[in-house]
Amino acid sequence: MKYSGWPDSGELVVGKVDEITDFGVFVDLEEYEDKRGLCHISEVASGWIKNVRDHVREGQTVVAKVLDVNESSQQIDLSIKDVNEHQRKEKIQEWKNEQKADKWMALAFGEDISDEQYGAVANALLAEFETLYDSFEQAAIHGTEALEDVDLDDDEIEVIVDTARQNVSVPYVNVTGYVDLRSPAGTGVDDVKEALKAAEGDGEVSDEIELTVTYVGAPEYRIKVKAPDYKTAESELDASVARAREAIEAAGGTASYHRERSGDDE
């Protein structure tokens, strides 16, 4: 989806070089409907420029900074040289993400979605999220809970979540901890098994989290958590250890927690 309005001065925009002249470069703006900007030769690159074509080529995708917008004269002045490499890469990634989100909207609501429906859904999502891509990513991670404050009906939310979970590659992180479980009682083996079952969550762990408990070597067990972010992963790891400790101590045993594996490295 392209914006129908005008970019703001100071904004970074993605464009495609449409025409190269002796005095500068005309750039079609990829994010705006029927908008074209001019990058004067002095704004193409730093230093003296002998030939503009030594710096840009027709059809090239560029990131430019908007210097000035004059709606009455339909003129947008751009600068390519004022964009550093970090800004360029970040903007290109943001643009690609929004292109993905645009495709997901079509998958969710159909290729023939009207501009009115698209705008209504997009505006509702953007009222709660910074970008459409963010809204789909959070829907993939947290499900309907992520969209509970969005002004959409249940059917619209459900189709967004389903589409997100089928198409969004969610970034995940892994954290690992180790717990030593000991029980002096005659039922010690069963006590440890119950503590491990408690550590695994017994079905209470959220769908967005993958938690595994594996045997390392008596009395040590590894707890590994895979989650969308470190805060969630660390919180779930702590909760898992707490459940195991509570269960083993209730049976008269002990639990000790550490982040590094005891003994030799894996």
Check residue 266 and give its pLDDT.
43
The confidence band for 204, taking pLDDT boundaries of 50, 70 and 90, is: low
For residue 263, pLDDT beyond 70: no
Mean pLDDT of 117-139: 93
Residue recorded with tokens 């030799």: 264
Report how far residue 121's alpha carbon sits from residue 150's, in angstroms, rounded to the nearest whole number: 9
Name the pLDDT band for 208 (thresholds 50, 70, 90): confident
Q: Using DSSP, state whether 188 is helix, strand or coil.
A: helix
Delimit the domains of the chain by residue range: 12-82, 87-167, 173-258
Which numeric CATH code is attached to 12-82?
2.40.50.140
pTM score, two decimals? Answer: 0.64
Provide the residue count of the chain. Answer: 266
- Over residues 65-80, the mean pLDDT reads 96
Tens digits of per-residue pLDDT, 134-188?
Answer: 999 989 888 898 999 999 999 999 999 999 989 988 778 889 999 999 998 888 8
d(CA 222, CA 178): 5
Q: To the nearest whole number, what is the mean pLDDT of the chain? A: 91
Taking the domain 87-167, which CATH number applies? 1.10.150
Same fold, 12-82 and 173-258: no
Helix (H) or strand (E) holding 224: strand 220-227
Both structure tokens of 264: 């030799």
C-alpha span between 208 and 113 (Å, rounded): 30
Out of 13-17, 81-85, 182-186, 201-205, which region has the weakest mean confidence (pLDDT)?
Answer: 201-205
SS3 77: strand
Average pLDDT over residues 184-193: 90
Please compute the mean of the pLDDT values over residues 56-72 and round it to a whole number.
96
Cβ-contact 227, 208 below 8 angstroms: yes
pLDDT for 264 beyond 60: no
- Looking at residue 142, its pLDDT comes to 81
CATH architecture of the domain covering 173-258 = 2-Layer Sandwich (3.30)
Q: How confident is the model at residue 265 (pLDDT cuts 50, 70, 90)?
A: very low
